[in-house]
Amino acid sequence: MATFYNQATLSYNGNVRSSNVTTGQIIEVLSASKNAVNDNYSPDNNVVFVVSIINKGNTAFNNITVTDNLGSYIPSGSTAEVVPLTYVADSVNLYVNGVLQPAPTVSETNPLTIENINIPANSNVLVMYDTRPNQFAPLGTDSSITNRAVISGNNFADITVDKTVIPNNTANLNISKSLSPTEVEENGEITYTFVIENYGNTASLSADNVIFRDVFSPVLSSLTATFNDTPWVQGTNYSYDNTTGEFVTLEGQIEVPAAQFNQDTQTGIWSVQPGVSTIVIKGNIQS
């Protein structure tokens, strides 16, 4: 609610008389809020934002514009602004009182500018759109993206709404396998190397009970295994079936450190150095 004042003057024959001061109040009938369908983000998942605009008045507001900065920020040590979220094309949906309407106009994508939104009297409007984290999105455990939208139009002051989302604080594991040598004599020794990479911002700990399994064909005899250069003991760290060739780690044996994230102060681009753990299994092939 805003207060306004008004006073009149009357001039005659060189005289000036002032009226009393009247006081009025403008009742703000438009309000807005911003939320996300999911408060967490990751490079593999979209972030869906919802801007809610409520009109409590008896008059419609037409040709409203929603402008979203997509989380723009200036990296530490830089002067250039970067934008960590990318608008997903054709993802805008408009609802009036819960009923889907024809899509409004997207005139710009950076900043995202959505135009021609009409808000009927005594109505609630939802503007929903998808964004995707890009190379400028920070992923560390202490990171966040604050996304700001401005609702603007005629006959009312701009309304600013913010929503902060944070990265998924979790491990993100991948595994690769290599063989050496690739050509081996009968009963010769071969080495399998398994590299487990963690692209997440959180370490994978023993309590996560990561299980590694492989079935070697041909079956290996005289098998030995190490984890990060530390020898493993059968029955303590893993089980191995000499008949089927099945190798399975026991619970709580595998840990992988968190990834490290670094931002280039010139470009603003984040790079990821995954945390790595390695399993090496050696044995002689059985023909």
Q: What is the pLDDT along the chain (287 residues), one digit of tens a residue?
A: 567 789 888 898 888 888 888 887 666 689 999 999 999 999 989 999 999 999 999 999 999 999 999 999 999 888 899 999 999 999 999 999 999 999 999 999 999 999 999 999 999 999 999 999 999 999 999 999 999 999 999 989 999 999 999 999 999 999 999 999 999 888 899 999 999 999 999 999 999 999 999 999 999 999 999 999 999 999 999 999 999 999 999 999 999 999 999 999 889 999 999 999 999 999 999 87
Q: Which residue has the tokens 């710009």?
A: 108
Q: In order of start, what are the domains of the chain with their CATH numbers?
A: 2-167 (2.60.40.740), 173-285 (2.60.40)
55, 59, 152 from 27: Cα distances, Å: 12, 13, 17
Closest by Cα among 7, 15, 33 to 151: 33
Q: Give the pLDDT confidence score for residue 77 in this predicted structure.
A: 85
Amino acid occupying residue 183: E
Which H/E stretch holds residue 56?
none
Closest by Cα among 171, 140, 138 to 72: 138
Give the CB-side neighbour count of residue 161, counting CA atoms within 13 A. Answer: 20
- What whole-number distance in Å separates Cα of residue 99 and Cα of residue 51? 15
Report the relative pairing of strands 145-152 and 99-101 from DSSP bridges: unpaired
**Ramachandran region, residue 71 (left: φ > 0; alpha: ψ -120 to 50; beta: rest):** left
Render 251-285 in DSSP notation, one character per residue.
TT---BPPPEEEE-TTT--EEEE-EEEEEEEEEEE
Indicate the pTM of the whole model.
Answer: 0.82
Q: Give the pLDDT confidence score for residue 136 in this predicted structure.
A: 97
208: DSSP letter: G
Give the CB-side neighbour count of residue 133, counting CA atoms within 13 A. Answer: 21
Phi then psi for residue 151, to 5 deg, are: -100, 120
Cis? peptide before 218, omega within 30° of 0:
yes
